[in-house]
Structure 1
Amino acid sequence: MAQFTYTESDFNENTCNWQQTECQQSKFDETLQSGWDKAVEDGHFRYKLDIEETRVIGSKKYIAQLNVKRAQERRKPDVIESVNQPFNPASFNFLKIKPQEILLELVKEEDDSRPNNQVNQTQENGTDKQEVKKRNLVVINVSPLEYGHVLLVPDIDACQPQVLTESSMRVSLEMMLLSKHRGFRIGFNSLCAFASVNHAHLHAYYLDRELFVESVPVKHICGDLYELDAMPAKGFAFQLHKTGVDKLSKIIFHIADYFQKHEVAHNMYMIRGPVFNEDQHSTNRTIRVYLWPRKKFIGSMWLKDEEAFNVALVELAGHLPVKVKEMFYDLDEEKIESTIRDAALEDSEYNSIKQDVSNICQSFIS
């Protein structure tokens, strides 16, 4: 396992837009992609990624991709009964994966230049204290939905259940900033929102196509909080622009923590795009983060018989990996949006949550 060491000088907030033809990759992109390609060559995936066909559907330009093997050959998901289901060491978790599935460890160099060893010695009240260093690992998703599909497993040894923490938000934003690729995306499924493993992790992958949510207008609510209401499922929107990694991590964590405490299933998606409410082709670009509260899905069924896709983080953003060939060709915008609306909260519940989220946002306004 290689270490990928970085500092804030390696961050890239402003990437090229979809009209530009010459776009550079970062050292991080090159490292991730070369490691992923080698894992494919060495046969460490359950199947070779084979997107049979891609369709662009409707006015919102939903990107539907036929990926039958993901449904047929992926690991059976855990049975999930609660957003707050405890971590179970007997169930599958990322400490049980093969060493060959680990691509790299993300290591941020701090200003104090302490050595990046696994255990640091610190002095407290005249006695030695063992400070265990967190390992933030990037591992391949052995059942990929797109090119470069990996999992970011923050602080893997803590064995946290599938929850968003402030530190996991921070490292995922930093991972996003390490990429220069306009199609690099990161997302999170809570339990009961189609997370299939109850061990804290986020998804990351490349989709070399523009999505509607990259430039969709959003409505300002208060402070750094905006609302996405142009999609079938309403949600909350944030941007890194003029907010910063630390503050944005805190805000999103506090809202996600509210969801956890109230058993509200949720999905999160990070994407590159123009600064809010600027032109689609603006060169003033940033990272957008969308956070959707949604209906809970209970159980272990991976694909409902009556649906072409399950509604998780990528689907809410308009990227639709479809696992049933017959349904793929029958999809239209009305069917897509009906499926997504079925996963959305009723207006009364959403509006109640919106008021509470607004109150949380108010607490960050200085």
Structure 2
Amino acid sequence: MRTQRKIRCGRLLLILSFVVGIMICINLPSSSVSFPTLSHGPRGTTRMSLAYGKMHTFEYSDADLFENSTGWTGRDAELSEFDLELRTRWSKAMDEGHFRYKLDKLKTRIIGKKGYVAQLNVKRAQERRKPAEITHVNQPFNPAGFNFTKIQPDEILFKMVKSGTKRSHDQANGYLPERDYSKSKVRDLMIINASPLEYGHVLIVPDVDAMQPQILTQHGLRLAIDAVLLSRHRGFRVGFNSLCAFASVNHQHVHAYYVETELMVEHCPAAHIHGILHEISITPAKGFAFQLHGSTIDQIVCVIINIIQHFQQNEIAHNLFITRGTVFGEPRDSTLRTIRFLLFPRKKFIGTKEEAAFNVAVAELSGHLPIKIEEMFDGLDEEKIEQTIKDQAVLEETEYNQIKQDVLKICQKYCS
């Protein structure tokens, strides 16, 4: 009798366990689970793939890319479908508390004749994640350190997918073959920057699971250009910091954000050097300039990537800024507008300069200055700003001129 009771009790417990298990599975939201899986990438490297449920996809094609935009003297900025998607999801993430701090309206000053745009953002300096220790431009990727495979699902705004097959190019002419990323498992992510410097500050992370170091690849540059062309907002900017040029995470990524103020580099003169190569010198840090007007995306990508590869091979720190602006040689109020590319070779910088009002990364080289020390904000003038840029970023004249000659040779090879 006792034996039969034990059997019945055991069966009852088994049935109850089965029912409870089914109820848990039914009620568990799929978006809350993340299962890391490993696969093998090129040359035997290990790729980490984080499978986040219900990730939103933003799909686009070449038909969605726009070169022109409204200027700063006309009507309000236009917004594309891309802008609306990014801004809506970014604002939602801010409301839900996924950032390190609430971004209030930033106090802004326009400084000097050149028009440096200074914005007080003390919280970014105080509450951002501690930057990785960077000592070399070619520092290897460290999977044990922070990287973008370790972010939370709520930090992802969407995955970017470009439909249609991209054309392939002859490697002998400087072009690398492209894949059709719409049919591959490559994940190009648009994620929040948890420590934003302005409204809509996001990070574009190309092929996140490949875990590539902070070296701009051809695919990464194409993705950055696509983002600028997808936006119709005149104040949407994209920037890349190499290692030793104030990149704080050694995992390939590009910054993008909105600023509702025109920047000096978007209308300043550009001296022609050769072919599509120009030079700007409005700030103490000279830079190489290119424009989409009169050129093609393929040609721009080819030249810039080959220059960046030269920088990497020679441990030259660099910053790249991509923005909308007037066509070279046109007046500031011209309606003839295009995409400008500004590439700055610069002094290697290791660590942080705590006593400075700002650190000189890609935004600062382009005239946008997020100020981290409140006591220094009101006293800033053009002379102090340019002295900080000189101290942190400007190369010796002889070194810059040698780089300039090397860049000219690269352009002569790929622009002919």
- The answer to whether the 8 A contact 1:270-1:290 is kept is yes
Q: CA deviation at 1:24?
A: 2.3
In the alignment, the residues of structure 2 paired with residue 288 and residue 94 of structure 1 have an alpha-carbon distance, to the nearest angstrom, of 28
Letter in 2 for 1:70: R
Which of residues 294, 301, 311 is equivalent to 2:360? 311
Letter in 1 for 2:401: N
How big is each residue's C-alpha offset from its partner over 1:260-300, in whole Å with a ceiling of 9 and x where there is no partner?
Answer: 0000000111111011111111111100010000000123x
In the alignment, the residues of structure 2 paired with residue 203 and residue 313 of structure 1 have an alpha-carbon distance, to the nearest angstrom, of 9
In the alignment, the residues of structure 2 paired with residue 333 and residue 118 of structure 1 have an alpha-carbon distance, to the nearest angstrom, of 45
**2:137 corresponds to:** 83
Gaps of at least 5 residues in structure 1 are 121-131
Q: CA deviation at 1:51?
A: 4.5
Classify the secondary structure of the residue corresponding to 2:157: strand
Which of residues 177, 188, 193 is equivalent to 2:229? 177
Letter in 1 for 2:72: W
Structure number having the greater helix percentage: 2
Q: CA deviation at 1:118?
A: 8.9
Aligned residues: 349
- The answer to whether the 8 A contact 2:163-2:182 is kept is no
TM-score (norm 2): 0.82
Classify the secondary structure of the residue corresponding to 1:152: strand
Q: Alpha carbons of 1:355 and 1:104: their partners in 2 closer, same or farther (altered >3 Å)? A: same
Residue 58 of structure 2 is aligned to residue 4 of structure 1: yes
**1:190 corresponds to:** 242
In the alignment, the residues of structure 1 paired with residue 320 and residue 107 of structure 2 have an alpha-carbon distance, to the nearest angstrom, of 26
In the alignment, the residues of structure 1 paired with residue 310 and residue 154 of structure 2 have an alpha-carbon distance, to the nearest angstrom, of 37
Gaps of at least 5 residues in structure 2 are 1-54, 167-178
Superposition misfits of 4+ residues, deviation over 6 angstroms: 116-119
Q: CA deviation at 1:349?
A: 0.2
Q: Alpha carbons of 1:291 and 1:119: their partners in 2 closer, same or farther (altered >3 Å)? A: closer
Which residues of 2 match residues 229-268 of structure 1 at below 5 A?
Answer: 229-268=281-320
Q: CA deviation at 1:143?
A: 0.1
How big is each residue's C-alpha offset from its partner over 1:126-151, in whole Å with a ceiling of 9 and x where there is no partner?
Answer: xxxxxx53211100000000000000
Bigger relative CO (Cα 8 Å, ≥ 6 apart): 1
Q: Alpha carbons of 1:350 and 1:21: their partners in 2 closer, same or farther (altered >3 Å)? A: same
Q: Alpha carbons of 1:22 and 1:52: their partners in 2 closer, same or farther (altered >3 Å)? A: closer
**1:98 corresponds to:** 152
Classify the secondary structure of the residue corresponding to 1:176: helix
In the alignment, the residues of structure 2 paired with residue 306 and residue 144 of structure 1 have an alpha-carbon distance, to the nearest angstrom, of 21
Q: CA deviation at 1:306?
A: 2.5
**2:196 corresponds to:** 144
In the alignment, the residues of structure 2 paired with residue 140 and residue 305 of structure 1 have an alpha-carbon distance, to the nearest angstrom, of 26
Classify the secondary structure of the residue corresponding to 2:149: helix
**1:334 corresponds to:** 383
Shifted more, 26-35 versus 103-112: the winner is 103-112
Letter in 2 for 1:163: I
Residue 371 of structure 2 is aligned to residue 322 of structure 1: yes
Residue 407 of structure 2 is aligned to residue 357 of structure 1: yes
Q: Percent identity of the aligned residues? A: 58
Q: Alpha carbons of 1:362 and 1:119: their partners in 2 closer, same or farther (altered >3 Å)? A: closer
- The answer to whether the 8 A contact 1:3-1:106 is kept is yes
- The answer to whether the 8 A contact 2:241-2:319 is kept is yes
In the alignment, the residues of structure 1 paired with residue 283 and residue 82 of structure 2 have an alpha-carbon distance, to the nearest angstrom, of 32
Q: Alpha carbons of 1:64 and 1:119: their partners in 2 closer, same or farther (altered >3 Å)? A: closer
In the alignment, the residues of structure 1 paired with residue 409 and residue 77 of structure 2 have an alpha-carbon distance, to the nearest angstrom, of 40
TM-score (norm 1): 0.93
Which of residues 18, 34, 58 is equivalent to 2:72? 18
Shifted more, 142-151 versus 233-242: the winner is 233-242
Residue 122 of structure 2 is aligned to residue 72 of structure 1: no
**CA radius of gyration, larger in:** 2
- The answer to whether the 8 A contact 1:137-1:152 is kept is yes
Letter in 2 for 1:333: E
**How large is the RMSD of aligned CA atoms in angstroms?**
1.6
